[in-house]
Amino acid sequence: MGIEIRIPSPLKKLAGEQDIIKAEGKTVGEALCWLTETYPGLKERLRDEQGKIRGFVTIYVNNEDIRSIQNLETPLKEGDRLSIVPAIAGGYR
């Protein structure tokens, strides 16, 4: 399914300076696989050694957290937006 992936600012430079990337995938897991194979710099940021999504990254499909749907098995349909939201801490310096 043709979807859009939203790349957050702290990870943009690892995704060729793009903030929206057109992608394909029937599920969230497939789309993220495609993303990290295409932009290997993102692999370490998004997934741990076992391939699980890291605890400081949340993934949303449209406005729903995938943890409240089916995690990586969450199905995607045409035009869905997958957003990657990492914790950010700047506010000071």
| Residue ranges that bind another protein, judged by CB under 8 A | 8-10, 44-45, 54-58, 65, 85-93
The answer to whether the CB of 64 falls within 8 A of the CB of 76 is: no
Q: How far is the CB of 58 from another protein (least distance, A)?
A: 6
Q: How far is the CB of 78 from another protein (least distance, A)?
A: 27
Long-range contacts from 21-24, C-beta under 8 angstroms, 24+ separation: 23/82
Residue with Cβ nearer another protein (34 or 83): 83
Residue with Cβ nearer another protein (45 or 81): 45
The backbone region for 17, taken as left when phi is positive above 0, alpha when psi lies in -120 to 50, beta otherwise, is: left
Q: How far is the CB of 44 from another protein (least distance, A)?
A: 8
Residue with Cβ nearer another protein (54 or 77): 54
Q: Say how far apart CA 49 and CA 63 lie, in whole Å.
A: 28
